[in-house]
Amino acid sequence: MKVVKTIQELKEFVQAAKKAGHRIGLVPTMGFLHEGHLALVQKAREENEAVIMSIFVNPLQFGPDEDFERYPRNLERDEQLAAGAGVDCLFTPDVEEMYPEPSIIAMTVTSRTDKLCGVKRPGHFDGVVTVVTKLFHLAEPDTAYFGLKDAQQFAIIDGLVKSLNFPVKLVGVDTVREEDGLAKSSRNVYLTEEERMKAPHLQQALKLGVQAAAQGEENVQAIVDLTISHLTAYAGAAIDYVELLSYPGLMPLKKAEGKMILAAAVKYSKARLIDNIIFTAGEEG
């Protein structure tokens, strides 16, 4: 595996891959890798001759009160995991490499942001689409792989690609979970032991809501309330939101039908966790 820190080196890898007729798969990450990331690599590995992973904790997508400085980092371990998973080129730029001078272009997400995590994280998705645009231009992937745990992010990147005609195919990969159902997340390390015990109820609560919809419940508020009740009773965390929306449009629903997302965010003492289930009414959740 080639580890490169500069744009120039990355471009050389990309040029060589293209010249060889290789398909390029890109896995953009913020590092502190877990099995969720490695599942993305595995999928990319199956579909491409050249797999690029980026590790870049993007300051643009963190708010002033968010955890940019203390976001967990472990580049040495990440390099081992990436190499083991079959990454061909690991791109680990520093902030100056990605943002060397003030940008003259601001990218703003004008839809799909006033729901879910977007409400409490103003500007977050503007930072996401900006860095994804830059990474797409640098790595020139045929296909890019993102986890569906960040379902709103996936919906917005899907909209980015369609709105601006990026020549990139997007693949959303199912959330990888611990045995007890907790979604893998770099932020899980912040959980206390007791919180870690209760955290799987986040997924349990969503499953309850989806089951109700599968059994014919069409009342959106009833599904949301069922989820909230379970979280309140068992999750031991403050509820940030529980929402049932269309997917990927993220529009409010009059009744629970079509392709939907039931998503929730909860706050533990030092970690905010998110999870979701994307499903279609009438199909198994």
From the annotation, which residues make up the binding site? 30-37, 61, 147-150, 153, 176, 184-187
Kindly tell me which of 236 and 249 has the beta carbon lying closer to its own copies.
249
Is 143 a binding residue for its own copies by CB under 8 A? The answer is no
Beta-carbon-side half-sphere exposure of residue 62 (alpha carbons within 13 Å): 13
Q: Which of 16, 95, 119, 164 binds its own copies (CB under 8 A)?
A: 164
Cα 247 from chain centroid (whole Å)? 15
Q: Report yes or no: 245 and 213 within 8 Å, Cβ to Cβ.
A: no
Contact between 141 and its own copies per CB under 8 A: no
Q: Tokens for 99, please give them.
A: 């943002």
Question: Least CB distance from residue 181 to its own copies, whole Å?
Answer: 32
Tell me how far, at minimum, the Cβ of 263 lies from its own copies, in Å: 18
| Cα(251)–Cα(189) distance, integer angstroms | 33
Q: Which of residues 165-184 bind its own copies (CB under 8 A)?
A: 165-167
Catalytic: 37? yes
Interactions with its own copies, residue window 4-33 (CB under 8 A) = 7, 11
Q: How far is the CB of 19 from its own copies (least distance, A)?
A: 9
Residues 98-137 that bind its own copies (CB under 8 A): 101-112, 129-130, 133-134, 137
CB count, 10 Å around CB of 115? Answer: 19
User: How many residues at the interface with its own copies, by CB under 8 A?
Assistant: 30
Tokens at 116, concatenated: 């879910």
Ramachandran bin of 195, using left for φ above 0, alpha for ψ from -120 to 50, beta for the remaining angles: alpha
Look at the alpha carbons of 242, 245, 251, 253 in this order and tell me if their dihedral is positive or negative.
Answer: negative
| Spacing of C-alpha 56 from chain mean position | 14
Just list the catalytic residues: 37
Which residues bind to its own copies, rule: CB under 8 A?
7, 11, 101-112, 129-130, 133-134, 137-138, 140, 156, 159-160, 162-167
